[in-house]
Structure 1
Amino acid sequence: MKIMLPVAGKGTRLRPHTHTKAKSLVHVAGKTVLEHIISRLTSLNATEFIFITDENGTQISEFMERKFPDLPCRYIIQKEQQGPAHAVSLAEEHIEPGEGLLIVFNDTIFEADLSRMEQLCADCDGLIYSKEVDDYRRFGVNVIRDGFIADMVEKPDKPVSKLAQVGLYYLKDGAGFMRYLGETIRAMEMVKGEFYLPAVFMRMIKGGCRFRAPEIDAWLDCGKPETLLETNSYLLLGRHHVHGSATDSVLIEPVHIEKGAQVIGCILGPNVSVAAGSVIEASIVRNSIINSESRVKNMIIQDSILGEAVHLISSARRMNIGDHSLIEMQGK
């Protein structure tokens, strides 16, 4: 089996954090999004990891060589941004007939037992992992009949299904899937000028292929700042780790302080992660991500993401306030 990770794309919803780095290298709960994803895949013993990158591909390859030097990796550049299905198609020549293919998109950290893929796929051609959601109108959903996917609807107005596609796909015959993908591209089946995978899967279903839609345990979106903070909170739950130094400080669990980070005279937490090289001094920080080499002093911050090498420094206020006064300093 091979594992493909399309990591191209500008990550516009995460700007300004993606102005200078690939979106999969944004930090959450002490690791990059990519590290969280790869660590969930290493036990599958894939013969190769195929990364579809953009011009930031060197960042991805350097990260993988540093963090996962023993994994066999291949890097393919998507020079024209024509959608996720086009990105996947670029690896066609590297997928052998009968070889399984797992496609993992990098906006999502998942919790799922992938060791059961072949078992779940015993009577079908592939798996399109899903998660039941309340607001089905925001997602592409799978419509199930007799245990198999009968239709796919993008952002339905009516509740035809609440099983949202999560960006995790397993194909029993990767080369066969690539043939259908090529047909879809040649037929120019596009949405707003881009190629998407649901069109490929529907072509396969009409051709007699069968897909199941197993539910994952958790779907952790990392595609925009507010969901990145929610994912940070989820991943920190039960993981109160202080690898750096925390002196004269109160830590409200969970907090993750990396080795090389310093916290001095602060109140941190809950749900705060501080990366290596950062110094937080005389501050109150809640529900926030502080990236590496940053400095925060005399601040009260919450629901915030600080990029690398950010300096956020204030000073104590001097006030002369009379009786019966009410002073409110709103943060928003």
Structure 2
Amino acid sequence: MKVILPVAGKGTRLRPHTHTKAKSLVQVAGKTVLEHIVSRLLPLGVDEFIFITDENGGQITEFMDRKFPDLHCRYIVQKDRKGPAHAVSLAKPRIKAGDDLLIVFNDTIFVADLTQIPRLCSECDGLIYSKEVEDYQRFGVNVLDEHQNIVDMVEKPDTPVSKLAQVGLYYVKDAVGFMRTIEETIEAGEMVKGEYYLPNVFMRMIRQGARLRAPQIDAWLDCGKPETLLETNRYLLTDGEQGDGETLNSVIIPPVHIEKGAIVRHSIVGPNVSIAAGSIVEQSIVMDSIINGDSEVRNMLLNGSILGDSVHLFGALRRMNIGDHSLIEMPGLT
């Protein structure tokens, strides 16, 4: 099996955190988004990981060499931004006869047993992983027939033709044939707002007789914007470990992940907080937040916050002597 990971997106919805790093290297629940994704692919025994990168590709290469030195990886730069299908097509030279292919987009951390792919795909040609949602108007959805085969894909439907949202996780048995269909789609100029998208490719496959199905994943964890990144942090911390960071005279309210190399002193931390290595939290209260590496937080009250790398955030504790019938109002948690 080959795996293609398009990681060339700018991550504009996650700015300012993506001004200086690839969006897949943003931390959540003690790991980068990319580490969460790659770790879930390891049981598949992947032959080659193919990363489609942009000018931040060096960051991806350095991270993979450090975290997963034994994996067989290749890196291809997408110089022209022509959409997801175009990005995937750049991996064609790495695809050989007999390869099957998994495509994983990095806005989402998935929870699914991918070792079930052979069983799920025993009577079809590919899988477009999905998740049933109530706000179907926000997504591209899969429409199924009575045999559970996909017959149509509708982008942001106005009516509930389907609630099976596509989650950015795709599998095809015949990787060579799939690449050929992408080429046909691009040659036909089937663009949406100036870009080539995979649903057009899959619909072309269906018209040519391919059978595609839409198994549901267990959880769909969006990492594409700050509020959903914090939601994902909360979800992942529920099943995670506290970590091996140092705590001194502090109250820790689980779930919390304090990475080895992080220090918490004289503070209240949690719930739903992850603190990366090299960071120090002192004389502070922190809840529902993500603190990335080598940051320093002192005398602060934080809630619903994301701090990038090497952030220094200092506040001030107050001492008061207040008489009767006084009213003191200070901005704080609501």
Q: With the length of structure 1 as denominator, give the TM-score of the two structures.
A: 0.98
Is residue 69 of structure 1 aligned with residue 69 of structure 2?
Answer: yes
Whether the aligned pair in 2 keeps the contact of 1:48 and 1:74 (CA below 8 Å) is: yes
Q: Could you list the per-position Cα deviations for residues 179-211 of structure 1 after superposition, in whole angstroms to 9, with x for gaps in the alignment?
A: 111011111111111111001001111111110
- Aligned position for 1:106: 106
- Aligned position for 1:230: 231
Whole-angstrom CA distance in 2 between matches of 1:318 and 1:86: 60
Whole-angstrom CA distance in 2 between matches of 1:277 and 1:40: 26
State the secondary structure of the residue aligned to 1:9. coil
- Aligned position for 1:123: 123
Whole-angstrom CA distance in 1 between matches of 2:50 and 2:65: 14
Residue 99 of structure 1 and its aligned partner are, at CA, apart by 1.3
Q: Could you list the per-position Cα deviations for residues 205-240 of structure 1 after superposition, in whole angstroms to 9, with x for gaps in the alignment?
A: 111111000000010000000000000010000324
- Aligned position for 1:189: 190
- Aligned position for 1:295: 296
Residue 328 of structure 1 and its aligned partner are, at CA, apart by 3.1
Whole-angstrom CA distance in 1 between matches of 2:205 and 2:328: 64
Whole-angstrom CA distance in 1 between matches of 2:183 and 2:14: 31
Whole-angstrom CA distance in 2 between matches of 1:225 and 1:242: 23
Alignment of 1:190-209 (within 5 A): 190-209=191-210
- Aligned position for 2:31: 31
- Aligned position for 2:264: 263
Residue type at the aligned position of 2:46? A
- Aligned position for 1:315: 316
Residue type at the aligned position of 1:275? A
- Aligned position for 2:245: 244
Whole-angstrom CA distance in 1 between matches of 2:135 and 2:70: 41
- Aligned position for 2:19: 19
Whether the aligned pair in 2 keeps the contact of 1:4 and 1:50 (CA below 8 Å) is: yes
Residue 320 of structure 1 and its aligned partner are, at CA, apart by 4.8
- Aligned position for 1:139: 139
Whole-angstrom CA distance in 2 between matches of 1:72 and 1:42: 12
State the secondary structure of the residue aligned to 1:241. coil
Residue 310 of structure 1 and its aligned partner are, at CA, apart by 0.3
Residue type at the aligned position of 2:218? D
Whether the aligned pair in 2 keeps the contact of 1:97 and 1:176 (CA below 8 Å) is: no
- Aligned position for 1:56: 56
State the secondary structure of the residue aligned to 1:181. helix
- Aligned position for 1:331: 332
Higher alpha-carbon deviation: 262-271 or 115-124? 115-124
Whole-angstrom CA distance in 2 between matches of 1:315 and 1:46: 51
State the secondary structure of the residue aligned to 1:301. strand
5+ residue gaps, structure 1: none
Whether the aligned pair in 2 keeps the contact of 1:5 and 1:104 (CA below 8 Å) is: yes
Whole-angstrom CA distance in 1 between matches of 2:72 and 2:206: 32
Residue type at the aligned position of 1:202? M
Residue type at the aligned position of 2:114? L
- Aligned position for 1:2: 2
5+ residue gaps, structure 2: none
- Aligned position for 2:221: 220
Whether the aligned pair in 2 keeps the contact of 1:14 and 1:23 (CA below 8 Å) is: yes
Whole-angstrom CA distance in 2 between matches of 1:239 and 1:116: 24
State the secondary structure of the residue aligned to 1:233. helix
Whole-angstrom CA distance in 1 between matches of 2:72 and 2:205: 30
Aligned length: 332
Whole-angstrom CA distance in 1 between matches of 2:31 and 2:115: 23
- Aligned position for 1:176: 177
Whole-angstrom CA distance in 2 between matches of 1:331 and 1:124: 56
| Percentage of identical aligned residues | 71
State the secondary structure of the residue aligned to 2:277. coil
Residue 321 of structure 1 and its aligned partner are, at CA, apart by 3.5
RMSD across aligned C-alpha pairs, in angstroms? 1.1
Whether the aligned pair in 2 keeps the contact of 1:9 and 1:81 (CA below 8 Å) is: no
Residue 316 of structure 1 and its aligned partner are, at CA, apart by 1.6
Residue 318 of structure 1 and its aligned partner are, at CA, apart by 4.3
Q: Could you list the per-position Cα deviations for residues 102-140 of structure 1 after superposition, in whole angstroms to 9, with x for gaps in the alignment?
A: 000001100101011111111111000000011000100
Q: With the length of structure 2 as denominator, give the TM-score of the two structures.
A: 0.97
Whole-angstrom CA distance in 2 between matches of 1:328 and 1:231: 33
CA 242–92 in structure 1, closer or farther in 2 if over 3 Å, else same: closer
Whole-angstrom CA distance in 2 between matches of 1:114 and 1:49: 16
Residue type at the aligned position of 2:301? I
